[in-house]
Each structure stands twice: as C-alpha cells, then as structure tokens.
Amino acid sequence: LLGSSIIGFHTQFHANNFAESVDRFLESRIERADAAISYGGRTTLVHAYPISIEWPAELLAKLPDVGECRARVRERIGLKADVKLCVGVERLDYTKGILDRFQVLEELFTRHPEWIGKLVLLQIAAPSRGTLPAYKQLHDECRRYVDEINQRYGSENYSPVLMVDKHHAQEQVYEIYRAADICMVTSLHDGMNLVAKEFVA
C-alpha cells in the first residue's frame, strides 16, 4: 500500500489506525500534521474520504410530496396520524445492530412507558446471505425479539415493531424515508453506513 501516492479510508479512525500500524511495524516517518507516511524513499498521503450518496434527482422528482408519502405509508401499515414513525432500513446483517436497535426500543418503553402506543418502529431488513447458518440464526433471533416486544408492549390495535424482511425498490425506500419522523442507525462496525445520509437527503 505504501507504494501508492495516496491511500483513502472511509473514516478518520481507520486512517489513523493504518498510520499507527505502520508506525508500529515498519521503520518509517509519520507526519501526522500532513497526514503523510514516508517509507522506502516514498511519501504516501493517508486521508479519510467518507463515501457520499447518489442523489437520483429524476427519481425523487417523480415521488409524491412528503405529506402524500406519509399518508400512503401510514395507511399501508395501519398507523394513526398521531403515532411517531421510526424506520430502520438495511440488510439483515449482524454488523447493522438490528438486535441492539430492538433492545434500545425495549429500554425506551421500560423507562418511558408514556411512549407505548405513540411510537412504531418499521424495520426493513432485506434478506442477506440467508443460506448461511449464522444469518438464518440472526433472522430467527430478530423475529423472536420482535414477537417478545410486541407481546409485552403491544395490544390488539398496536404493534410497536413491524419487521419487513424483503427487498424494496429504491423508490419504495425513499417513500418510507419521506414518511418517517425518525430514522434509527445502529450499525456496530459497518465501515461507512449511508442510511443516515440517505434519510436526511
């Protein structure tokens, strides 16, 4: 890698970690102020370049406005107008922290029971690597946890968590983003998760 002119990482943490590893294992000069590493007569710049999102203007222009998206999604999932809609959108993968998200929601309802009936989490969990036993187990654990939360805090007309484990087209995801009040991103170690950027865009 140090034969390159420049090396880019998603986060500053990873860039710093690389420089520290080089400093530890190779006879080199680290210039932290310039974000440069000199080794073997070459200087390599090491920077963080957070990935950006694609902004499909023509696709978004075809979507209905926020109010209409809110009405359509809420009608589709049977959500009253005064209930806050929280969304989580990602692949069903252990790096995404989906179980941790359910735990946070459960903790919210335990500490602040006044939110029961006033908040719903719509979890979009696109299937991923379903033939691998670990991913099948994660799917089963998520389903079990959703059932527990819904039994403990739900009622006949209220399910605190709606988990949808299927793929969605890009325009469907954008419609859900527009309809939501809150977006939860709880990835544990995911490189550069783009969901938060997509949601606010």
How do residues 157-189 score in pLDDT, each as one tens digit?
Answer: 999 999 999 888 888 898 999 999 999 988 877
36/117 same-domain check: no
Mean confidence (pLDDT) of the chain: 90
Q: pLDDT by residue (tens digit) across 49-72?
A: 888 777 777 777 787 888 999 999
Report the pLDDT value the prediction gives residue 111, as an integer from 0 to 100.
98
Q: Is residue 90 domain-shared with residue 72, that is, in the same domain?
A: yes
Using the predicted structure, report yes or no on whether residue 191 has a pLDDT greater than 70. no
Within-domain flag for 97: yes
Answer whether residue 71 is part of any domain.
yes
CA dist., res. 8 & res. 45, Å (int) = 8
Same domain? For 34 and 94 the reply is no
CA 116 to CA 159: how far, in whole Å? 10
3-class DSSP assignment, residue 180: coil
Q: Across residues 152-161, what is the average pLDDT?
A: 95
Domain-embedded: residue 26: yes
- pLDDT at residue 43 in the model: 96
**Residue 42 and residue 68 in one domain:** no
Residue whose C-alpha is closest to residue 170's, from 201, 131, 130: 201
Supply the pTM of this predicted model. Answer: 0.78
First to last CA, the chain: 34
User: How many structural domains comprise the chain?
Assistant: 2
Q: Are residues 112 and 175 in the same domain?
A: yes
Would you give the distance in Å from CA 63 to the centre of its chain?
Answer: 22
CATH number assigned to the domain comprising residue 195: 3.40.50.2000
C-beta neighbour count of 39 within 10 angstroms: 16
pLDDT number for residue 26: 94
Residue 1 lies in a domain: no
pLDDT given at position 38: 95
27 belongs to a structural domain: yes
| Domain extent for 15 | 6-48
Q: Residue 196: its pLDDT value, please?
A: 75
Q: Which two tokens stand for residue 126?
A: 């696109």
